[in-house]
Amino acid sequence: MEQQNQSIGQNQAQPMPQPPNIVSSKDLLYLTDMLSWNLNASKKAHFFAQQCTIPDVKTELEKACQMHEKHYNVILQHLNQQSQQSIN
Express each pLDDT in 37-78 by its tens digit: 999 999 999 999 999 999 999 999 999 999 999 999 999 988
Domain membership of residue 34 (yes or no) is: yes
**Where does the pLDDT of residue 18 fall: very low under 50, low under 70, confident under 90, or very high at 90 and above?**
confident
If one counts the domains in the chain, the total is 1
Residue 41 near residue 68 (C-beta atoms within 8 A): yes
User: CA 75 to CA 61: how far, in whole Å?
Assistant: 21
15 domain-assigned:
no
With respect to residue 53, please indicate whether it lies within any of the assigned structural domains. Answer: yes
Q: Tell me the residue range of the domain where 35 lies.
A: 24-87
In a domain, 35, yes or no: yes
